[in-house]
Structure formats: structure tokens, C-alpha cells
Structure 1
Amino acid sequence: VLRSAILASDGYVERVKGEEGHKEELIARGRPIEQALVFAGLSAGLSESVIRSEHPTIDLLPFDANRRFGGMLVLEKDAGMAYFSGAPEVFLSGSRKSNVETEHSASIFTQALNEATSASKRVIAVARVPWHKDHFPTDDALLKLVGRAKVIGLVTFADTIRKEAGVAVAQMQEAGARVVMATGDNKETAIVVARAVGIANANDIARTGAELADLSDDSLYELVMKDTVFARVTPADKLRIVRVLQNHGEVVAMTGDGVNDAPALKAASIGIAIGSGTDVAKDAADMVLLEDSFAVITDAIREGRRLRDNIKKVFTYLVATTFGGTFVIVTAFVFGFPLPILPTQILWTNLINGGPMNIAFAFEPLYPSAIKRSPRDFENARVLSPSVIKLILAVGLSTGLLLVGLFLFISKLGLPETEIRTMIFVGLSFDAIFTAVSLKSFGTPITQISFFSNRFLIVALLGSVFMIAIALFVPPVQFLLNTVPLSFRDIGILGLLGFADLFMVEFAKYIIYIRPVMRARSAIRV
């Protein structure tokens, strides 16, 4: 059976020179099923090249997803023999029982097919028929020839489900993406695999390509948004599903490895080919996965969410802390107060203290609150979103009001202007430090954030404290910034001010980010 399956396919093996210092490698060419066949042959001591030399090729019938079979016409004992392989239904359908030797044989094949598909295995049938012409017939004549072919046996393929596949699908669904399976395999195999990895539930069913043919585009869209498994679909079906989803405003990522996936890969918003797939699929795709793992796609989504979220943190932190200092200065000008902080002190706060923390935000890990946001959420679409603007205003105003309050309080104590400006300078620096700690995650309370999750931020925070100490106690820097040493009591008061600012930032996060999510989850439960 394996020898006949190899003869019926156009897969082959070639030797490829390895990198310097490495031996030659055997590379299989063809569709994934054909690659598996030729490698199985080598394991069984059947060389594809030797078989071809013993059975010279006369004509080739490439596999076609619409007719669901392919074949090879070879010379066997000085006569032509047509070998076919493809979907078992093509050769074992009710109208083609003559393809098997006896009714008993037919029942054996049917039982074997059912057992294999229920075990989530892919199955092809192999058949042959004498043909004494030098080329395959076409159209109806070809179907008649296939109708006379005798089934030799079934070949099963076990696609081992990777351990990380289920986790990757769950993470992708958690990220708000809808995962749909569209395969040319039979529906029994498709639904078993889909349930094993979490694409389908126990009560879900698999739809077939035949069921899609009579549906309008709107009806097909509703079906795809309700069901997640589609079996025995053709390349045209896959392409239509992609286009229908896109026409309804969906962003579609398509993964595939075969020639039949190429049209849908090309049309998708982003086509993702598997590294071990065919060259046609790779050429049609926008991206090729070097590792044949669905988890790579999930990791890419998570990394994208992390980078976007961290960019927002950098932007929010930079603008909010600058806004707080500006608010203090503008308030002083409006009410005719002395200048509360000098330009050099502001530059020191923004560049020396705040600069390293801005850079450190780029290394923040991904927090659950960010990955759970829906892709449709406007927060995920833009950096300067309404929520970010609200948070910037809230953080800037709270910092500014606290510093204005501090300025008015210490001004009434009759302290020298230099000491007042020093306290405002240190207060602004402390606020920047506490704000940075709070902004590690927009949607996660500080009580649930690991302080040690970003060692770069810890170094930046300690560096900021160290630079504040230099600004207060190193004479040359004191002269440059026009500062004076502060007592431990004054520093303690400014520390309490920083904690107050931390509370205000956390309250703003709760109102803008956390509470809406909690309400949405409560509504779903109800």
C-alpha cells in the first residue's frame, strides 16, 4: 500500500548540502502529506527514487482540492497503470462500491476509516486501474476511470497535537481573537482535533464545504461567527470565508502550509505560512514561521500588545509629569506668586531623573489586563486614545494640585525662596518616581503588580533617588541647580506627598481602566 501511495504522489526527496561543517540533509518536496509518504517509505526501506526508476512516469495528474484526488500514470510490466490517492469518499462512496473486491472488503475499509477519523487521524485512499494510453483522460472520462479503479488500501496520518497548541489557542482567545479551523480533512477528524485544542466545545459540530455553497455572504458570515470548524472545504471556500470576513470589517490572519491555502493566504490581512509547508504557500504568505508552532503566533500577539502598552506608558509618563510641573508654573504666574521652580531644576527632573525611567518602561512585561483587552477596543487601536488622554490629565492635575498646595503651605512658613524651590524640585522628582511605579500597568492595581518584574525600572528608580541626593548635597550641583540641603523632616514630608500622588494615580487608573472592565464582566455574568 505504501509503495502504491508513493507511486500515486508527486512528492520526492532531494539531498541538500548542509552548512559548513555539516553533512548533507534529506529534504522532502511536495505537499505535507506527500512529504510524510516519502519519509515513511524511507523508514520502511522503500526509496522513492528507486520506485520511480522501476516504474517510469508516463503522465502526472496533480492533486486538485475540488476533485479531491491526484494520481500518476506509470509503466508497470510494460503496460500503463494509473495510481490514484485522495479522499476516501471519492473511492468508497455508495456509487463506487465496485472499487473494492467484495462487500466484506468494503465494510473493512469503512470500519478502518471510521476508527481512524474518530482518533483524529487523516486518511487517504490508494487505488489503481490499468490505463494503456500515454496521458490521463479529462473531465467525465477521468471520473469514469477513477470509478473503475480498485482500492488497494488506506493510509493514515497522525498529526501529533503539540502540548503547547491548546495553551496557545486559549491565550489567543483570551486576547480577543476568534480562532476558526478550515480544513480539507473530513468532518470527523476536524472536530476531534478542534475539540482537543480548544477551538471547538463538546457540543459544537463541524460544517462542510458543501453546506457553504448555497449560503449568501451575509449568511456565511453569521455561520462563521457562530461555528468554528469547517471541514472538506476547497481553496475557493477558504478564500470566500476570508473575503466575507474582511467585507464585514474583520481583520483576518490566515495560516496554511499547502498549495490549496495559497489563495486565502494571499487575500488575508496577514497570511502566515508554516515553515515546513510548500513553496507556493510561503510565496503567497506575508510571514513564514520558522517553527511549525501555533504558539509563535500567540507569542507575536502578546509581544505586540506589550510593546504598544509600553509605548503608551512612556508617552503617558512623559506628558503627565511634564504637565504637572507646567501646571505649577502657570498657576504661579496667574496668581502672581514667585517662580516656584527654576528652568534648570525642571530640566534636571525631566532628563536626569525622568529620562532613565522613560527608557525602563520599554522593558515592562505584559500584564493580564493588557492581553485581555479586545482587539476591537479603541485602546488597542491607538496610542493616544481617549483613556490615555484622561489618564494624562488626571495624573498631571493631581500632581500639579499637590505641588501647588505644597507651595502655598511652605510659602506661608516664611522659608527662603531657595529652600521653597528646592522643596518643589524634590517634590516634583518624588512625584515622578511614585507615578512611574503606579504606571507599570494601566489596568492592574499596584497591589497586584510585582515591583521586581522590571529590573531596569528598579535601577532607574534607585538612580533617580541617587541623583536627587547629588542635587541636594553635592556643592557644584547645588550651585548649578540653586538648591540647598533639606532636613530629614522635609524629605519625609515630601515622601508623604509622593505617596499621596501615588494614591491619586491609582484612583485615576481605577476610574478610567479598572472599573469599566469590572462592570463589563459583571454584565456578562448577569
Structure 2
Amino acid sequence: NKMHVTKAAIGAFDMSVEGSRDEMIRQKNADDGQNSVSQLRTIAGLCNSGNFDAATYHLPLHDRKIHGDATDQAILRFSESLGPVTEVRESWVKTFELAFNSKNKYMIRTFTLADRVGLDLALSLTEANEFRQNATLLTIKGAPDVLIGRCSMFVDRDGVSKPLDEATRFSISCMKDCWSSQGKRVILLARKTLGHEQIQSIPTDAKFEDEIMEHSRTGLTFVGTVGIVDPPRDEIPSVVSILRRAGIRIFMVTGDFALTAQAIAAECGVITNPPGAVKTVTALTRDEVSAPSSINKSSDLTPQPVTSIVVSGPELITLNECQWDKLCRYDEIVFARTTPEQKLRIVREFQSRDEIVGMTGDGVNDAPSLKAADIGIALGSGSDIAIEAADMVLLESFSAIVHAVQYGRVVFDNLKKTIAYLLPAGSFSEFWPVFGNVIFGLPQILSSFLMIIICCFTDCAAAIVLAYEAPEADVLLRRPRKPKVDRLVNWQLMLQTYAFIGVLESIASFAMAFWYLERQGIPFSVFWFQYGALPDNLDADFVASKLAVASSIYFVNLVVMQWFNLLGVRTRRLSIFQHPPLFKKETRNWLLFPAMGFALVMVFFWLYVPEFQRVLGTAEVPVEYFFLPGAFGLAILLLEEGRKYCIRAWPNSLLGRCAW
């Protein structure tokens, strides 16, 4: 989507691009010296840093490549559509250029005459007759609100320079506001002729710039304005909508005029309120009175109305700390007419209020704010310095930001899921056999070697495949997390892994191990506070052999129950039927089942090889002790499904607040 001129105006007489061509033909046919459109076309072509690529000059105008910024490209195409720009540029010799910058908001070029034909193109008949060979033509292009006050003359529809009276000035201002409210970027074109005696220095002199700047402050002749449309990328509205549903506030920071910025913001979906509901800086009171109820983010569950505000760069300078606090609480903000310094301040003001700031930009002026932002995002077509300052570069579509947010959240989710899976068996259920041995004098019912096997083999494979989990359906419907509050491991996660899953797995594993011993004629009471002492009626070798089997049963119980924990931990809110591991392309993760199979292979490898049994103290496990843990694991999965259902149904309940 290229910028292009859709409107042009001579004085207060506005035309479409096609209308300007018709007007130019009419003036040529009149043959009475009328050349207002020619003057506009000439200034547009001269005061322009864009240049056509010679290799594409034979192509249709719209397809030609232009070296220069987007605004210059649009104005150069407009000028070329009214006549060859080369004809204009060959008639004048450039002597000085002040490039456009976001602080001045205008560019200047000065010229001396090379061919008398140029006078008929650039000036009115009277001015052309008065122009001397050694005189200078000053051309200027920029923001209307900056330059209109410097103009004392204007070119009327007939091409005659007349004094700029208040009525005409008011008409021009109204037209500019009208165009701006339609989302057009309005550029004013003006000129001034300077006699040889008015310039004391030569263009190569350092003082020449100061002289030209001084001459540009007053006495300009207003030639006309052009309205440029900068169509947003097709995907922008949908990207803004998706990010907003993800709880991300989207603001626009631009150098455009406030009305233009507001109209473009509305087109892109950054502003959703009607124009009458959009606040201005007057809504930000300087005292500490409470903010309007529409801005306060209270704990009330009723939806709050969306608040919108438009603030310009010069207004930002006047804001105190209280006003910044109020401004930063708005849902939708458009910052217009901003300088690079103000963009940087905007980033830092939000960061100082514990907000995470992402900044997009493509220009040199955006580099400081891109560097300062928590995540700087540059466009691949942008300047090298912007790309260097950014953390992420969008090579093609702006919608890549959505994928970046989604997978950023998925990585965080999968890390939490991995921790939630590992802690119950690999930490909590391994702790209690040691604790029971030290405190209660029980034998260590899970051997240290099998603890290592759980950590390094049986749990390890499943933890790795959790990294391949697909995004949950609600991942872009959640509020963003606050890093200082929403930690990777928080109390909710500890409650889930230790107090819920960990307790169930530990109790079931202890029960299976000591139940087996009970069935072998070794009651639990013989171990309680005995610290290794055995009654005389029990043979020590017999007890040791049965303890090896009990340890292996404890191990098998944890491995099997962890399979079901793996299925349950895949989602934080959704049911296994909403996010199935198989049969649904968007959610499937078939690697889970090879990971379970690997854990089972490890069980047989370490427990059933005779050499390992003799050296490591492992033993074969009766077959029923493989199926009973399956029933316990199924119970865990059903309890998990019930917990998640309650969270989905009552997200603000106690259970919802305890959800990890």
C-alpha cells in the first residue's frame, strides 16, 4: 500500500488529482497567463528529495521505483502526473537543501535559474518579469500548522499572487482540518523569491543556512496544499483487534497532525469510540482529584466503558506527574505531532508505571524509543539504524506480532507445564521416603538409585515433549502477565504440584508399597520408629528382599501415575476433550505417547534385568501393581478435569484464584 495524493488545493479551491489535471489543461487552453496548477506542480517537483529510478522510468507512473521517503514519493508522483518533473528540474539549479526533520516539520530547497522556461512554470506572470538572473527561489514544504503563519501572500486560482487575508486563511484552515479528519496527511507548499541583494553570503558559506532560515520565517507565498492518503496495511485492523482481546493496549505515536492521526487511528481500530467521545488534554486535570470512573480499573466485574484520548506533542511538554498518571490509564491513546524525544519520553513514562512497552517503528527517529522499549519492533523495510536498535524485525507481515505474542505466551505456558509435571514425582514424592526414614524411623521405601532414574529417565522424556505443546485456544484471550507479580513458579503452582498432585501420588505410592509388605507378612508397625531394628521373628534377609520389591512398587506407582499427570498438565484451563493430544491437528502432540513408552521401557530395563537387580537392589513387580496405579492416575485425571471445569465456570471463585 503506497502513499498517494488524493487531493490538491490552490488557495481555498480544492480539487481531486484528476480535477487538477483538468484544471491545468483549462488554464493552458485559456492562454491568458493562468498557471496556478503549474506553480503547484513545480514546487512539488523542486522541493522534493525523491528521484525516479532510471531503470524503471519506462514503466507506468504507479509502477516506477522512487528513491526517497514515502511522502516525497507520493508528491513526486503527483507532480509527474501533471507533467515531466525533469522539465522542471532542468530549468533550475539547486543551491541549498535543508532536509525534513521531525522537529522543524518542513524542508527547504533554494534554486537559481538555469532556463527562462522555469519562470513560467514556477511563478506568476508579474513575479516572472521581476525575477532577475542572479536571484534565488526559496521553496519550502511541510506541516500547514507550522508554515501557514509564515505566509503573507497566496496564489489564487488564476495563478496571481495576492495578500493572504484572514478570510482566505480561515478557509484554508477549515479545508486542512476537513482533510485531516478524513485521515489525509496535509502538506503545504510555498515559495519566496529573494533578490541578489537580500542574500549576503554564498551557498557554500556556513552562514548561508542561517540566512535562508531567517528568510523562511516570514513573507512566504502560499502556493497550495496536497492531501496524501497513507493506507494502512490490510492486516492492521485485525491485528489490533486480536491484540486488544489479548489484553494489550494499542496506542498510536505519530508525527501527523492530531485530526489526521485520530482519523487513521479510527480506521486501524486503535480508536473505537466515536469522535465526540474522544477526550483531549483538557480532560487531564493538574490536581490530585480522583480520576473519572470510566478510567478507574476497579475490581468491579461489570465492563467499564472504553476511554480514548488524543494528545499532541506540544501538549505532552506541559503535563505534570499527576496528568501523566491519568493519561497512562486510558485504554486508547493517540499521540500526535511527536518528536523523537517525546516518543522516548512516552516509552519511559509507561515503563515507570510498571508497564511492559513494545514499540514499533521504521525510521531513524524511532531508534531511541525502539532501544528504550522492553521490546523494540522494526519493519524489515525500515532504516538500518532502526533495525539495529530493535529486538525483533518484521520481514513481511505486521501480523507476525500476533504470532510473537502467541508463542511468547506458549513458551511461558510450556515452561510452567514442565515444572508442574516434574515437581510432584521428581521432588515431592521423593522427599517423603527420606523424611519418613529420618523422622519416623521407617525404611527408605524408595531407593536413592530409583530416585535418580525418575529424574534422569522416566520423567525427563515426558518433560521434554511438553515443550512441543501447541497453543491453548484461550492463550490470546488472557490478560498479559506482570513479570513482578506473575512469576514462573508462584504459590498457585506450588499448591497444584505439592498440595494436590504431589500429596495424591505420595499417599498412593506409600500405600501400594506398604500394602505389599503387609501382604507378605511384614506389618507396618514393625517399622514405626524402629530405625532399622527388626523383631526376632523376622529374618533380615527376607525383609531386605521384600523391601527391594516394595521400593520397585513405589517407583512403578509414580511412573504410571505420572502418565496421567502428563495428560492433565497439558492444559491450564481447558479440558482434555477441548485440547486432545490426538485426532485434532491444532492440538495434537503424539510425542507424549512415545515418552510414556520410554518410561515403561526404563521400568523393565532397570527392574527386570537380573544383573541390575543384584547390583542395584531392584526387583520384579507383581503385575497387579501396574494396574492399580492406572486407577489412581485415572482418578487424578478426573479430579483435574473437575478442577478445570470449575475454573472455567467460576473463574473468580476461590478455586479460580488458586489456579496456576
Using the size of structure 2 for normalisation, the TM-score is 0.66
CA contact (8 A) 2:514 2:550 kept: no
Query: In the aligned structure 1, how far is the partner of 2:72 from the partner of 2:591?
Result: 50
CA distance in structure 2 between the partners assigned to 1:53 and 1:306 by the alignment = 60
Give the 3 Å change call, closer, same or farther, for CA 486–406 of structure 1 in structure 2.
closer
CA change 1:407–1:298 in 2 (3 A) is same
Taking the aligned partners of 1:430 and 1:520, their CA distance within structure 2 comes to: 31
2:153 to 63, 87, 98: 98
Alignment-derived partner of residue 459 in structure 2: 354
Judge conservation of contact 1:2–1:155 (CA < 8 Å) in 2. no
Residue of structure 2 equivalent to 1:151? 223
Please give the secondary structure, in 1, of the residue aligned with 2:189. Answer: strand
Other-structure match for 1:83: 139
Residue 161 of structure 1 corresponds to: 233
What 5-or-longer segments of structure 1 have no aligned partner?
Answer: 17-25
Q: State the alpha-carbon separation in 2 of the partners of residues 138 and 521 from structure 1.
A: 72
Cα distance in 2 for residues equivalent to 1:92 and 1:514? 59
Work out the CA distance in 2 between the residues paired with 1:494 and 1:167. 48
Alignment partners' CA distance in 2, 1:39 and 1:386 = 62
CA contact (8 A) 2:183 2:229 kept: no
Which of these residues, 111, 118, 138, is aligned with residue 74 of structure 1? 111
Q: What are the residue-to-residue correspondences of 1:230-249 with 2, within 5 Å? A: 230-249=335-354
Residue 461 (str. 1) matches residue 533 (str. 2): no
Structure 1 residue 498 corresponds to structure 2 residue 537: no
Whole-Å separation in 1 of the counterparts to 2:480 and 2:41: 48
- CA separation in 1, counterparts of 2:484 and 2:648? 15
* Aligned residues of 1:322 and 1:350 also touching (Cα < 8 A): yes
Q: In the aligned structure 1, how far is the partner of 2:422 from the partner of 2:635?
A: 19
Judged with a 3 Å threshold, the aligned counterparts in structure 2 of structure 1 residues 522 and 505 are, in CA distance, closer, same or farther, namely closer
- Give the alignment's Cα RMSD to 1 decimal: 4.0
Equivalent pair of 1:316/1:388 in contact (CA under 8 Å): yes
How far is the alpha carbon of 1:251 from its aligned partner? Answer: 3.4
Q: Percent identity among equivalent residues?
A: 25
* Equivalent residues of 1:255, 1:273 under 8 A apart: yes
1:313-372 deviation line (CA, Å, top 9, x unaligned): 223322322124314523652444444334444343333321111111111223355551
Structure with higher Rg: it is 2
In structure 2, C-alpha distance between the alignment counterparts of 1:460 and 1:385, rounded to whole Å:
27
Q: Deviations over 1:1-56 (max 9, x none)?
A: 5663342132446799xxxxxxxxx98554442355557778999578x8655533
Alignment of 1:79-228 (within 5 A): 79-92=135-148, 96=151, 98-101=153-156, 113=176, 116-132=179-195, 133=199, 134=203, 135=208, 137=211, 141-145=215-219, 148-163=220-235, 165-202=236-273, 203-205=277-279, 206-226=310-330, 227-228=332-333
Tell me the equivalent position of 2:297: none
1:55 aligns with 2:92: yes
Report the equivalent of 1:518. 652
For 2:447 and 2:249, the matched residues in 1 are separated by 54
Please state whether the residue corresponding to 2:369 is helix, strand or coil: helix
Measure how far apart 1:215 and its partner are: 2.0
Displacement of 1:510 in angstroms is 8.0
1:440 Cα deviation (Å)? Answer: 1.4
Superposed counterparts of 1:358-437, under 5 Å: 358-367=463-472, 371=476, 372-376=478-482, 378=484, 380=486, 382-394=487-499, 395-414=501-520, 417=547, 419-437=549-567
Deviation per CA, 1:405-445, whole angstroms, max 9, x where unpaired? Answer: 22233332228555544432221111221112222133444
Indicate the residue corresponding to 2:620 in structure 1. Answer: 484
Question: Which residue pairs with 1:19 in the alignment?
Answer: none
Aligned runs of 1:280-359 on 2, under 5 Å? Answer: 280-283=385-388, 285-287=389-391, 289-291=393-395, 293-330=397-434, 332-333=436-437, 334-359=439-464
Equivalent pairs, count: 506
Which residue identity lines up with residue 111 of structure 2 in the other structure? V
Q: Deviations over 1:83-134 (max 9, x none)?
A: 22212334556x8473341699979966764564344232323233323454
The residue identity in structure 2 corresponding to 1:400 is: S
Q: Deviations over 1:179-210 (max 9, x none)?
A: 21121112232222222333222233533234
Distance 2:191 2:448 in 1: 88
Whether the 8 Å contact between 1:342 and 1:421 is mirrored in structure 2 is yes
Q: CA deviation at 1:469?
A: 5.9
Task: Please name the residue that 2:569 is paired with.
Answer: 439
Distance 2:177 2:629 in 1: 75
Contact 2:143 2:187 in 1 (8 A): yes
Asked if the contact 2:152–2:218 (Cα under 8 Å) also holds between the matched residues in 1, the reply is no
Select the residue among 360, 369, 375 that pairs with 1:255: 360
Aligned 8 A contact 1:125 1:155 in 2 = no
- C-alpha change, 1:211 and 1:279, in structure 2 (3 Å) is same
Contact 2:254 2:261 in 1 (8 A): yes
Using a 3 Å threshold, how does the CA distance of structure 1 residues 460 and 39 change in structure 2: closer, same or farther? farther
The CA distance in 2 between the partners of 1:476 and 1:200, in whole Å, is 73
Separation in 2, partners of 1:365, 1:258: 36
- TM-score by length of structure 1 reads 0.80
Unaligned runs of 5+ in 2: 1-39, 56-63, 116-132, 158-164, 280-309, 522-545
